[in-house]
Amino acid sequence: MTTPKSAESPTGAPTLRVPVWVIIAIACTAQFVLVMNTTIVNVALPGIHEEFGLSVDGQQWVINGYLVTFGGFLLLASRAGDLFGQKRVFLTGLVIFTLAGLAGGLAQNSEWLLVARFVQGLGAAAMTPATISLIITSPMAAHHRTRALALWSAAASIGGAAGLVLGGVLTSALGWRYVLLINVPIGIVLFVVASISLLPAAAVSNWRRLDVPGAVTATLGVVALVYGLSAASSKGWGSANVIAALLAAVVLLTAFVVIETRTAAPLVPLSIFRHRPLTIANILFAGLGVTLTAVVYFLSLYEEQVLGYSAVRTGLSLVPMTVMTAIGAIASQRLVARFGPRLLLIVGSVVSAGGLAWLSRIPVHSDYAIYVLGPTLVAGAGMSLMFVPIVAAATIGIDHQHAGLASGLVNMSRQVGGAIGLALLVTVAATTATHTGLSAADGIVHGYRTVFVIIAAVSLVLTLVAALLPATPKSVPAQANPEQTNPQQSDPEQADPDRVAN
């Protein structure tokens, strides 16, 4: 799977300068690092709290700051890659991501750290679309491309598990700062290799076709909403700050809708939501984002703050769930082709709800095998069955010009849904813990139990949502053609949203 080094093919079209495995390695490494950074800071939260005195509300922003800008600017970054070239946008995002990791690792106060995480999410958003585009657009045989996409998917799964383990090892051995500083050497090496290896793509530099106002109002609206929900636990729902934040969220998100209906090149043509399966898929992925983010977040705190686990032990204890999620996601590719998305989504959400209900029984003095390992394996198995069916449901019946947009939307829903859900659940856990009259440890556990009950209920609601999907033929492909699910392949300006199948 190599390509001779040359500037042009015999037909005059540009080809790779390096063996194609180098391009695949760049794409997979970048994807690994981006996913790793969604989990690596979880087990470092107690150390951050100890140094900066970060409140419960503040701790969740270390996670959410990354998720909000990651999800909020994902579609804008995809569009920017179309207009200015994937290499340029990827390298720019990589520089932002790496410098933000350095800034976060050197942070002298909590505000500095949180700003760094917001900026790091922006860099991640710029890098993400190019990781899949590099594989899709590189000249290689079809079976090599399929293998490369499988490696890319595996890199994402391994990144989540590696983040938990590496975060624990770095925090225990060197301190929490190194969970962010680790991105610096990786980023430098990746930048040098990518700069040499990637070919500049043709670009149409036309800022008027880039919906910056839409992306900014949407992202700031979500930030205001997350802040309002998370601040309610400490300031109260009637406080001026909370009310102002929630009102700002309404105004900004309304402005986003207005912008999308009036701009010539909308980030999200709203008429695409007339396609019912796509709308349902976005709801499902938002709910799944809530579940995944909250389980890792609250279990990490539970094990370190209540059970007294070390950071390394906490990271290792959550690896089985991530491995189960990866294995199930691979298996579901065949299952969805045989049974269709709807059945798999219903079964997956029911199984997930069962595992989460079991998890809600966690005691103050836990038996890991019974109260953590068992339920997380069950919940992970259920959630793993949902990833591929959601993407399939989002793209089935969508015309070719909208397939990339549909895929980008569900990925955005996962990130943003996780941020909003975590903010609300942190408030629920804190409020419940302080109004029980129990001891500190018992109150914390009671709050976490309540959270897991709510997440289990969310999974059951997802079952009902999944049932609204139309029945699809069993021959539906397990995974949409990557060339049709790449956000870069969609051009809202050239496509007619009204052509979307209903």
DSSP readout, 5-44? --SB-TTS-B--SS-HHHHHHHHHHHHHHHHHHHHTTGGG
Q: Quick check: 498 pLDDT over 50?
A: no
- Nearest Cα residue to 306 out of 356, 371, 354, 353: 371
Q: Which residues contact 413 (CB under 8 A, 6 or more apart)?
A: 71, 282, 283, 285, 286, 289
Q: Quick check: 475 pLDDT over 50?
A: no
Angle between helices 110-137 and 74-84 (to 10 degrees): 50
Give the integer Cα–Cα distance in Å for 65 and 122: 10
Q: Are residues 61 and 137 in the same domain?
A: yes
**Residue 43, in any domain of the structure:** yes
Q: Are residues 387 and 364 in the same domain?
A: yes
Please compute the mean of the pLDDT values over residues 300-318 and round it to a whole number.
Answer: 89
User: In terms of pLDDT, which residue wins out, 113 or 493?
Assistant: 113
- Reported as a single tens digit per residue, the pLDDT across 219-232 is 899 989 988 888 88
User: Kind and range of the H or E element at 225?
Assistant: helix 212-235
User: In terms of pLDDT, which residue wins out, 30 or 434?
Assistant: 30
Q: How many residues does the chain have?
A: 502
297, 491 contact by CB (below 8 A): no
Q: Are residues 290 and 431 in the same domain?
A: yes
Q: Are residues 71 and 192 in the same domain?
A: yes
Give the integer Cα–Cα distance in Å for 409 and 277: 13
Domain limit, last residue, from 179, 203, 227? 203
User: In terms of pLDDT, which residue wins out, 27 or 401?
Assistant: 27
272, 265 contact by CB (below 8 A): no
Please compute the mean of the pLDDT values over residues 150-165 and round it to a whole number.
Answer: 79
Please compute the mean of the pLDDT values over residues 45-73 and round it to a whole number.
Answer: 87
**Residue 335, in any domain of the structure:** yes
- 22, 28, 211, 283, 442 from 128: Cα distances, Å: 17, 11, 18, 22, 41
Give the integer Cα–Cα distance in Å for 196 and 213: 34
User: Kind and range of the H or E element at 72?
Assistant: helix 56-72
| Candidate from 233-237, 388-392, 479-483 with smallest mean pLDDT | 479-483
- Nearest Cα residue to 288 out of 330, 339, 335, 349: 349
**Residue 434, in any domain of the structure:** yes
| Candidate from 269-273, 299-303, 401-405, 449-453 with smallest mean pLDDT | 401-405
Give the integer Cα–Cα distance in Å for 143 and 54: 50
SS (H, E, C) 394-455: HHCCCCHHHHHHHHHHHHHHHHHHHHHHHHHHHHHHHHHHHCCCCCHHHHHHHHHHHHHHHH
**Residue 2, in any domain of the structure:** no
How many alpha carbons lie under 13 Å from residue 144 in its C-beta half-sphere? 14
- Reported as a single tens digit per residue, the pLDDT across 245-266 is 999 999 999 999 999 898 888 8
Q: Are residues 488 and 358 in the same domain?
A: yes
**Residue 117, in any domain of the structure:** yes
485, 392 contact by CB (below 8 A): no
pLDDT for position 87: 85
Confidence of residue 472 (pLDDT cuts 50, 70, 90): low
Q: Are residues 153 and 239 in the same domain?
A: no
- Reported as a single tens digit per residue, the pLDDT across 408-466 is 788 888 888 988 999 899 889 988 877 666 777 788 899 999 999 999 999 999 999 99
How large a percentage of the chain has pLDDT more than 70?
85
**Residue 373, in any domain of the structure:** yes
Q: Are residues 310 and 419 in the same domain?
A: yes
Q: Could you tell me the two tokens for 380?
A: 């992970």
Q: Which residues contact 253 (CB under 8 A, 6 or more apart)?
A: 217, 218, 221, 222, 225
**Residue 401, in any domain of the structure:** yes
pLDDT for position 146: 65
252, 227 contact by CB (below 8 A): no
pLDDT for position 16: 53
User: Kind and range of the H or E element at 484?
Assistant: helix 482-485
User: In terms of pLDDT, which residue wins out, 181 or 387?
Assistant: 181
Q: Quick check: 484 pLDDT over 70?
A: no
Give the integer Cα–Cα distance in Å for 102 and 179: 10
Q: Are residues 290 and 168 in the same domain?
A: no
User: In terms of pLDDT, which residue wins out, 120 or 497?
Assistant: 120
Domain carrying residue 184: 16-203
Neighbours of 122 (CB within 10 A): 22
pLDDT for position 465: 94
Confidence of residue 17 (pLDDT cuts 50, 70, 90): low
Q: Is 175 strand, coil or helix?
A: coil
Q: Are residues 396 and 277 in the same domain?
A: yes
What CATH number does residue 415 fall under?
A: 1.20.1250.20
Tell me the residue type at 86: Q
Q: Are residues 42 and 138 in the same domain?
A: yes
- Reported as a single tens digit per residue, the pLDDT across 71-117 is 888 888 877 877 787 888 899 999 999 999 999 999 999 999 999 99
Q: Are residues 387 and 465 in the same domain?
A: yes
- 9, 106, 303, 322, 381 from 315: Cα distances, Å: 48, 23, 10, 11, 19
What average pLDDT is seen over the chain?
A: 82
Please compute the mean of the pLDDT values over residues 328-357 and round it to a whole number.
Answer: 88
Q: What's the structural domain count of the chain?
A: 3
**Residue 9, in any domain of the structure:** no
Domain limit, last residue, from 162, 180, 203? 203
Domain limit, last residue, from 226, 242, 262? 262
How many alpha carbons lie under 13 Å from residue 46 in its C-beta half-sphere? 22
Q: Quick check: 310 pLDDT over 60?
A: yes
Q: Are residues 363 and 256 in the same domain?
A: no
Q: Could you tell me if residue 201 is left (phi over 0), alpha (psi between -120 and 50 degrees) or otherwise beta? A: beta
